[in-house]
């Protein structure tokens, strides 16, 4: 993802890509894997947010939570 770019569009694109992969038979794509891929695609400036998310219990780290926190962080930086 772009350092100064919008967060909503790249997240939506990644989720759409993961859905397409699932639709063609990649049923092993878990929500956990999707979250991991989104977090690993972030610019380094988001490392502190990633670290904060990773300190939560694993069951709490949902796709919805990650999307929300990323968008909040993006809006805070604008």
The CA-atom distances, in angstroms, between 57 and each of 11, 18, 46, 62 are: 22, 24, 19, 10
pTM score over 0.85: no
Which pLDDT tens digit goes with each residue over 29-57? Answer: 677 888 888 898 888 999 999 999 999 99
The CA-atom distances, in angstroms, between 46 and each of 3, 19, 27, 40, 50 are: 9, 25, 29, 10, 6
Alpha-carbon span 22 to 44, nearest angstrom: 28
Listed by start position, the domains of the chain span: 8-77
Say how many residues make up the chain. Answer: 78
Which pLDDT tens digit goes with each residue over 20-30? Answer: 877 777 666 67
């Amino acid at each position: 993802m772009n350092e100064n770019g919008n967060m909503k569009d790249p997240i939506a694109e990644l989720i759409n890509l993961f859905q397409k992969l699932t639709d063609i038979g990649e049923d092993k794509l878990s929500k956990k894997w999707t979250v991991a891929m989104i977090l690993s695609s972030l610019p380094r400036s988001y490392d502190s947010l990633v670290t904060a998310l990773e300190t939560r219990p694993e069951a709490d780290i949902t796709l919805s939570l990650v999307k929300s926190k990323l968008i909040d962080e993006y809006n805070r930086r604008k």
